[in-house]
Each structure stands twice: as structure tokens, then as C-alpha cells.
Chains A and B, each alone.
Chain A
Amino acid sequence: KQEVTQIPAALSVPEGENLVLNCSFTDSAIYNLQWFRQDPGKGLTSLLLIQSSQREQTSGRLNASLDKSSGRSTLYIAASQPGDSATYLCAVRMATDSWGKLQFGAGTQVVVTP
């Protein structure tokens, strides 16, 4: 059974520091891994999608890496801003049974202080 773990559960950094968020998964049979941002009580906003055959994806200040063989992904957010405060979720798209189900981690709650 696929298990997705995000460490740390919470993170507080001063503005300007780089953020490093970790995601690990136990079953490497995945189609892709997607990072989301969730603001309190709000929906999920897609940040980056990394296909299983890719090593990394970049969008602006965000960079995500994927090491499928070791079951790890890392989201880097450069030069953090207070507006980056949110919960960040990773999800893997299952490639075996479960017909493409997204298996989510519990999230990392990020606070960026001015």
C-alpha cells in the first residue's frame, strides 16, 4: 500500500530564507508527483507536476526534484515571502491498481515571518 510522508509537518522561517520541503513515498510505481498549495479553508492550487521520467521541474521561485528510485521529492522555494505562508501538499498518481488515484501526504504547514 502506497504511503506518502511529508517532513517536517510544520516549518517557520524568516522572510528571505529558502524553503525546503520533503516528500517521500513507498511505492515507486507512480505516473507522476504533483505539489499543491492550500490556504486555510481553501482549495488546492497546483504548483508543479513532475512526470515519473523527469528529474525536476521549475516554475519561477519554485523548483521540485524527483528521485523515483529512492521514493523522494523535494520542493525548493527560493527567497521566501510572507505570501508563501500556506500548507504544501505532495501527491503521487498511482500507476498500479487504484486507477490513477492521487495519494496525498499530510502536508507541511509553512509560516514565513516578515
Chain B
Amino acid sequence: EAQVTQNPRYLITVTGKKLTVTCSQNMNHEYMSWYRQDPGLGLRQIYYSMNVEVTDKGDVPEGYKVSRKEKRNFPLILESPSPNQTSLYFCASSFGIGKNTEAFFGQGTRLTVV
């Protein structure tokens, strides 16, 4: 089954404790991205990757890091989480960015930073 898999689904952590949210897709997609969803602000892009070793900042990259060492994986790293990073996070992938490229989303990771 074609899918984007995120782990963990739920995470409660303390301020400053480094964490990684994993994202993996099995569709051989080149384009992957991370979004966060907050009430009243909607979905905003954090980082994206056009291909292996090619990443760039989205609209709200502060406090986050990413890496793309393999095509299928695109982990999101919070080096020193803060309470304002409490949010619902989504990983997405697509074959490319052209007009016939459908985006597929993971099930989301609900992160709480206390």
C-alpha cells in the first residue's frame, strides 16, 4: 500500500530535550516536506526537500532541522524543543512539483512540549 508513515503519532517531551520525528514514504517520491498545523494559523510549511541531499527552508523553519540522506526518509529534528513548538506535524510527499503531482500526507504527529 502506498503510504507516508510518521512516527511517533503522539509525543510529550520536556523543553530542551532533543527529539526526532521520522517520516518514510514507499512511493519513490522525490519531493518531501514537513508542515505544522496550529489552530487559527492553518498548515504552514517548515522545510522541504527536492531530492537526496537537497533541502531548503519553508515558511517557519526556526527551531527545526531536517536531513535527506535517503530518498524514502525525511526526518524532522528538534534540537532544543520549546513550548511554542507544540503542534500537529505532518510529513508529505509527491513525485515532483508539477501539475499532475498529487501530495500524500502522513497520519500526523501530535507533539506537546512542556
Binding site for B on A (CB under 8 A): 31-32, 34, 36, 41-46, 49, 51-53, 89, 91, 93, 99-102, 104-107
Chain A residues, Cβ within 8 Å of B108: 41-43
**A51/B43 contact (C-beta < 8 A), A44-B105, A100-B31 known:** no
Does residue B103 face the partner (Cβ distance < 8 Å to A)? yes
- Assess whether A53 is in contact with B99, with CB atoms less than 8 Å apart: yes
Chain A residues, Cβ within 8 Å of B101: 31-32, 93, 100
- Assess whether B102 is in contact with A102, with CB atoms less than 8 Å apart: no
A58 to chain B, nearest CB (A): 15
Binding site for A on B (CB under 8 A): 31, 33, 35, 42-43, 45, 48, 50, 56, 58-59, 88, 90, 92, 94, 96-108, 110
A100 to B92 Cα, complex, angstroms: 12
- Assess whether B99 is in contact with A99, with CB atoms less than 8 Å apart: no
Beyond known contacts A52-B99, A91-B43: 16 more, CB 8 A cutoff: A31-B99, A32-B101, A34-B102, A41-B88, A41-B108, A41-B110, A43-B90, A44-B90, A93-B97, A93-B99, A99-B50, A100-B48, A101-B45, A102-B35, A105-B42, A106-B42
- Assess whether A107 is in contact with B31, with CB atoms less than 8 Å apart: no
B4: nearest chain-A partner, CB-CB: A43
Q: Chain A CB within 10 Å — which of B31, B101, B110 has the most?
A: B101
A107 to B99 Cα, complex, angstroms: 22
B110: nearest chain-A partner, CB-CB: A41
- Assess whether A32 is in contact with B100, with CB atoms less than 8 Å apart: yes
A32: nearest chain-B partner, CB-CB: B99
The answer, among B31, B43, B97, for a CB contact under 8 Å with A104, is: B43
B49: nearest chain-A partner, CB-CB: A99
A52 to B100 Cα, complex, angstroms: 9
B4 to chain A, nearest CB (A): 8
